[in-house]
């Protein structure tokens, strides 16, 4: 997999982390004409991919794939273009037509990481990004001319020089520790359990169904080849009682079968084991520490129930490179580019974090939740706007305004006698 870094002369951009955020940043900086190398500590053969991910890509992020040269991933051999449907306590929230009026082509994607991750690395290599896997970045040091990266691979240690270093090294970011960019941690009161199945009949319109059951969320994702992914984000106490990993399958299937809006589990066959986690707090870091930008999970690693991490990795890395369009990587260009990136992240992605962190808590006022979803479900425009919010195409503040207006109108509507 590794394409040895050709010479020891200075890199323009060194990206630490070769997953979604890292490959995206690398490709976008390469497209701006820079010499770019990606370092990843894991050894990645052509089929390597991240397993702990349920790979629903929200519609706001899908266009970034085309900019990376990966538009073919929208095709039926690779993914399922889809749209969310929510089964809520107040009724169905389907949202007619497209995600937003006028956005004809915007859809979410069920794009499995076994497909996406190798495709990103191939696109990076084909566009001239140098790629060193099995190479851990252990320390970075700044001087007047840029950065020194101290790396280690199986042959020993090596130092690289770069003008700009991008931290795309995930939620446990080593660079964040080095640079003193601690994560603000927010609790997540749900555990997750998921698996891949055959033998489940999903909706003919290929929509992905999100069923709110008490304070759990059960998700049904159609995948390529007629397969289905089932994901359950459940109150921790519920799944704790389900026993060992192997023993959980019957309870998991019974849970889905008990939901009136889920497909039948009668013929469901699990492909591999169930995966999941018991605790996954959200983590938020500064977008820029010193002169190092953080992208993807290294900056914002939010409750997976929101299904935003892959999209935020794509979009944050894209925003970073866009902030450097028309700028050089000298001191003046770096200061301006990093300031623009910080501002963009704060405007485009950060407003979503607060609502997601609030949703991670299970103890919410059931009556006001019911009232809210009744209002949304009864109003086709608001339903569409709710889907646009969850697809991260509408800011929470804007949705709140529309919701408040609809709730007031509902309250003042004349009574039917």
Task: Decide: is 195 part of the binding site for ligand FAD (CB under 6 A).
Answer: no
Mask: binding to ligand FAD, 199-218, rule CB under 6 A, as x and -?
Answer: --------------------
Task: Decide: is 228 part of the binding site for ligand FAD (CB under 6 A).
Answer: no
CA angle 336, 296, 43 (to 5 degrees): 120
Task: Decide: is 147 part of the binding site for ligand FAD (CB under 6 A).
Answer: no
Three-state SS across 2-32? CECCCCCCCEEEEEECCCHHHHHHHHHHHHC
Task: Decide: is 366 part of the binding site for ligand FAD (CB under 6 A).
Answer: no
Among 56, 99, 107, 131, binds ligand FAD (CB under 6 A): 56
Q: Bridge-partner residues for 149, per DSSP?
A: 140, 160
- 3-class SS of residue 232: strand
Nearer CB in complex with ligand FAD: 359/407 = 359
Is 149 exposed, middle or buried, given 0-12, 13-18 or 19+ CB atoms closer than 10 A? Answer: buried
DSSP-derived letter for residue 222 is: E
Q: Closest separation between CB of residue 375 and ligand FAD, Å?
A: 27
Long-range contacts, 319-323 (Cβ 8 Å, 24+): 319/344, 319/345, 319/348, 319/349, 320/25, 320/28, 320/166, 320/293, 320/295, 321/25, 321/28, 321/29, 321/31, 321/32, 322/28
Task: Decide: is 50 part of the binding site for ligand FAD (CB under 6 A).
Answer: yes
- Strands in 11-16's sheet, in edge-to-edge order, are 130-132, 36-39, 11-16, 156-167, 146-153, 136-143
Task: Decide: is 17 part of the binding site for ligand FAD (CB under 6 A).
Answer: yes
Task: Decide: is 371 part of the binding site for ligand FAD (CB under 6 A).
Answer: no
Task: Decide: is 318 part of the binding site for ligand FAD (CB under 6 A).
Answer: no
Nearer CB in complex with ligand FAD: 24/383 = 24
Task: Decide: is 81 part of the binding site for ligand FAD (CB under 6 A).
Answer: no
Among 30, 174, 248, 342, binds ligand FAD (CB under 6 A): 174
Q: Closest separation between CB of residue 292 and ligand FAD, Å?
A: 13
Indicate the length of the chain as a whole number: 417
Return the structure tokens found at 93: 């929230």
Task: Decide: is 192 part of the binding site for ligand FAD (CB under 6 A).
Answer: yes
Among 11, 14, 18, 191, binds ligand FAD (CB under 6 A): 18
Residues 280-309 that bind ligand FAD (CB under 6 A): 280, 296-297, 304, 307-309
> Residue 135 — φ and ψ, nearest 5°?
-130, 110
Q: Closest separation between CB of residue 130 and ligand FAD, Å?
A: 14
Helices (H), 246-330: 248-257, 309-323
Count CB neighbours of 180 within 10 A.
9
Among 5, 11, 14, 19, binds ligand FAD (CB under 6 A): 19
- Binding region for ligand FAD (CB under 6 A) out of 35-43, 95-103, 331-339, 399-407: 35-43
Distance CA 412, CA 417 (A): 15
Among 15, 25, 29, 40, binds ligand FAD (CB under 6 A): 40
Task: Decide: is 41 part of the binding site for ligand FAD (CB under 6 A).
Answer: yes
Question: Binding residues for ligand FAD, per CB under 6 A?
Answer: 16-22, 39-42, 50, 52-57, 136-137, 168-170, 174, 192, 277, 280, 296-297, 304, 307-311, 313
């Amino acid at each position: 997999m590794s394409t040895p870094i050709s010479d020891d002369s200075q890199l323009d951009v060194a990206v630490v982390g070769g997953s979604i955020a890292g490959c995206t940043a690398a490709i976008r900086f390469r497209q701006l004409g820079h010499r770019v190398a990606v370092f990843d500590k894991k050894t990645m053969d052509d089929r390597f991919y991240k397993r702990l991910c349920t790979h629903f890509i929200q519609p706001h992020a899908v266009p970034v794939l085309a900019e990376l040269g990966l538009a073919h991933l929208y095709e039926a051999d690779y993914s399922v273009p889809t749209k969310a449907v929510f089964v809520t306590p107040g009724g169905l929230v389907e949202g007619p037509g497209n995600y937003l009026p006028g956005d004809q082509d915007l859809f979410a994607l069920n794009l499995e990481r076994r497909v996406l991750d190798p495709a990103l690395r191939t696109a990076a290599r084909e566009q001239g990004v140098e790629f060193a896997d099995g190479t851990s970045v252990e320390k970075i040091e700044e001087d007047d001319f840029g950065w020194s990266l101290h790396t280690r691979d199986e042959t020993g240690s090596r130092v690289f020089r770069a003008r700009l270093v991008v931290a795309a090294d995930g939620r446990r970011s080593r660079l964040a520790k080095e640079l003193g960019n601690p994560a603000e941690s927010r609790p997540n009161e749900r555990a997750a359990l998921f698996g891949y199945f055959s033998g489940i009949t999903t909706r003919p319109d290929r929509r992905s169904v999100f069923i709110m059951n008490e304070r759990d969320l059960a998700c049904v994702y159609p995948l390529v080849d007629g397969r289905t992914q089932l994901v359950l984000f459940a109150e921790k106490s519920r799944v704790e009682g389900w026993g060992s990993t192997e023993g959980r399958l019957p309870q998991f299937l019974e849970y889905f079968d008990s939901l009136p809006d889920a497909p039948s589990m009668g013929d469901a066959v699990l492909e591999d084991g169930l995966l999941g986690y018991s605790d996954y707090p959200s983590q938020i870091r500064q977008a820029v520490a010193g002169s190092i930008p953080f992208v993807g999970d290294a900056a914002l690693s939010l409750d997976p129930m929101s299904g935003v991490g892959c999209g935020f990795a794509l979009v944050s890395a894209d925003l970073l490179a866009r902030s450097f369009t028309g700028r050089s990587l000298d001191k003046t260009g770096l200061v301006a580019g990093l300031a623009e990136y910080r501002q963009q992240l704060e405007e485009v992605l950060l407003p979503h974090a607060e609502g997601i962190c609030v949703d991670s808590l299970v103890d919410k006022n059931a009556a006001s939740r019911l009232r809210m979803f009744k209002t949304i479900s009864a109003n086709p425009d608001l339903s569409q706007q709710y889907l646009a919010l969850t697809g991260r195409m509408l800011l929470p503040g804007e949705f709140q305004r529309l919701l408040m207006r609809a709730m007031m109108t509902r309250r003042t509507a004349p009574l039917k006698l």
